[in-house]
Amino acid sequence: MMGTDSRSCSGRTWPRVLVGIVVVLGLFAWQVLPQILHAAGLHPVCEEYAGDLTGRRALVVATNHDTLGDTGRPTGVAASELTAAYYEFLDAGMEVDVASPLGGRIPVDPQTLLWLIRSEYDERYLDDPVLTGMVEESLSVADLDVSHYDIVYLAGGWGAAWDLGKSGELGDAVTEAWQAGAVVGGVCHGPLGLLLARDEQGQALVRGRRLTAVTDKQLRELGIEMTPQHPESELRGAGALFEANTALRDILATRVVVDGRLVTGQNQNSGCATAQAMMKVTVESGRRKAGA
């Protein structure tokens, strides 16, 4: 009888032990895998910006496009490319607006909010009714007087490949901001929004200027080549002096390029550093506060 009871007890215990092991391993992976990716280069540590830009204004622009071609897969702005810049500007005392080519909803690529890859800025966004409201009801760039902004920042994401580089309204807005003396730029696919902009002489803004954006190599590595505009190819074709870093996988690379008032970041890892560089250039340029 004792042997039978022992076997019965053992038979009931092992499933519970296995479940416990699975839970522990799951919790371990939940905590450790994001840290491993972080250490490898995804969303690198960005030191707190020490400057104070109270009274200055920033405009963050993102896509309205929400579908990845004819795949039916949802897309939009890469979350951290919007959230990192927004919170860096906000925490430095700036007044920050969020806009898009058409106004209204800015779709956020759901993949970029997965626990494995979302950033600390994304975590903050998910609990912030102010920014989530601005993303759902963004301003239309055509309705803005962008000469009142000190910084115009263009967020990327796959969706931006469909509209930022083809929006005449956005091209006009960037042109107006640049000619008014603002610092302009963006990250990843965002610099596509520079393609239709013009400098003070009416020439293509990017021609002959140093900049960066997401590389063709990163697009190939991620298997996303159905997008209508590839930033590296388009910007090189427009005469830009394209620069980028590389890694075993370019999703883990990062770079920020400053060419006067043009400030650009390579990819989703560059949002914080690009925003901080834009603020530093704003201060160093000695430009009076926009709208003053």
pLDDT, tens digit, for every residue of 172-231?
999 999 999 999 999 999 999 999 999 999 999 999 999 999 999 999 999 998 999 999
Q: Is the model more confident about 69 or about 16?
A: 69
Nearest CA to 271 among 71, 108, 60? Answer: 60
Nearest CA to 190 among 123, 110, 106, 246? Answer: 106
**Residue given tokens 């400030």 in the structure block:** 263
Cβ–Cβ < 8 Å for 204, 46: no
**51 sits in which H/E element:** none
Share of the chain above pLDDT 90, in %: 78
Structure tokens at 14: 């092992």
Average pLDDT, the chain: 90
Quick one: pLDDT band at residue 28, thresholds 50, 70, 90? very low
CA distance 248 to 140: 39
- What's the pLDDT score for residue 273? 97
pTM: 0.88
> Average pLDDT of 114-138?
95
Cβ–Cβ < 8 Å for 279, 49: yes
Rounded alpha-carbon distances, angstroms, from residue 136 to 129, 204, 243: 10, 32, 34
CA distance 238 to 194: 10
Q: Does residue 25 carry a pLDDT above 80?
A: no
SS3 95: strand
Worst-scoring range by mean pLDDT, 139-143, 216-220, 284-288?
284-288
Cβ–Cβ < 8 Å for 250, 61: no
Cβ–Cβ < 8 Å for 155, 270: no
Worst-scoring range by mean pLDDT, 17-31, 118-132, 254-268?
17-31
Structure tokens at 64: 């309205």
- Count Cβ atoms below 10 Å from residue 231 Cβ, excluding itself: 36
Worst-scoring range by mean pLDDT, 27-36, 108-117, 162-171?
27-36
- What's the pLDDT score for residue 26? 46
- What's the pLDDT score for residue 18? 59
- What's the pLDDT score for residue 195? 98
Amino acid at 73: R
> Average pLDDT of 15-32?
52
SS3 108: strand
Cβ–Cβ < 8 Å for 99, 139: yes
Q: Does residue 95 carry a pLDDT above 60?
A: yes
SS3 98: strand
Quick one: pLDDT band at residue 17, thresholds 50, 70, 90? low
CA distance 146 to 286: 19
Task: Encode pLDDT of 44-81 as tens digits.
Answer: 888 899 999 999 999 999 999 999 998 999 999 999 99
Q: Does residue 22 carry a pLDDT above 90?
A: no
> Average pLDDT of 129-146?
98
CA distance 169 to 147: 14
Structure tokens at 129: 């009714």
Phi-psi region of 188 (alpha: psi -120 to 50; beta: other; left: phi over 0): left
